[in-house]
Structure 1
């Protein structure tokens, strides 16, 4: 069991808190610089066509923008042979906003894509009471091309695209712990003494 913090006086706590605040502000400024560098990443024009299965039939990558200039895709681990989605990805989608209006107000669409057939995705989505748009890449190379399906299986990830005129560009991707940025629950737990209560934490 993780040891609890040391018990100190209020003055000692205030001094320790002030010391930590300096580091927190440094981290905030570093994150701002990192975000700016991410925005300046070069982008790749998408020349390959992809088709996805959705509740209203087949759609293209351009359709997923739904009239917005930007598109965020969460690559949800759901192998075609599985009956249930990945527990970690399930936790992440539980953290996504149920109302995407605030994201759309910034001209951005957010969708989830998995390799399992649409029927399995729709069944799981209904069971989890989700409303986020979810599409199947079962009949395309999309998951393979973006590195979230390989010979070793499925991997969680996130990809970002920009629609400029008639062209679509891939601007950013991350996987593994890179998707933690979407987990609002972790941001809350990171403020507590017990943290996320995972083995790797110090």
Structure 2
């Protein structure tokens, strides 16, 4: 317990030696990382729920890198949270959904693909149960949309603040470090030039 208190005090002292800009970047970078985890949890809850009654939407986006995080998936769930509603979607409404989600290429091909997937016959829950599960989907979707907005807003704010720091160009010159990851690195190592005497010291801290 004593060791934990000593470490916390040392960590606090180290943070206080950093500039106000770095401390502000650390606040945003850590909040954005929390938003990443929140988004993952919200996505997994929605996916688990959809497995119980709406497998078509999962199949439709199974090959997409973002899966249910994709704007198109969320746009379609908004207007068709149940298999019955999804099967009634016209090509026109599907085209509108994928366009609103930001798709700019292969719109017709994607519309046709989704139209076929969502109309395939599958086992269904009783109609009353399905409608209730659809209402739950909309609630879970609202939570996912909220954390996605927080994720995007915090990422943008973190990057903008990071770019104001004179070390930003140096940090992002390292392979694999972009603005957001660079901001996280700076948040953890700080900008106190007296903190690490050698590269070995920095490596040990990392």
* TM-score computed with the length of structure 2 as normaliser: 0.32
Between Structure 1 and Structure 2, the one with more strand by share is 1
Larger radius of gyration between Structure 1 and Structure 2: 2
* TM-score computed with the length of structure 1 as normaliser: 0.32
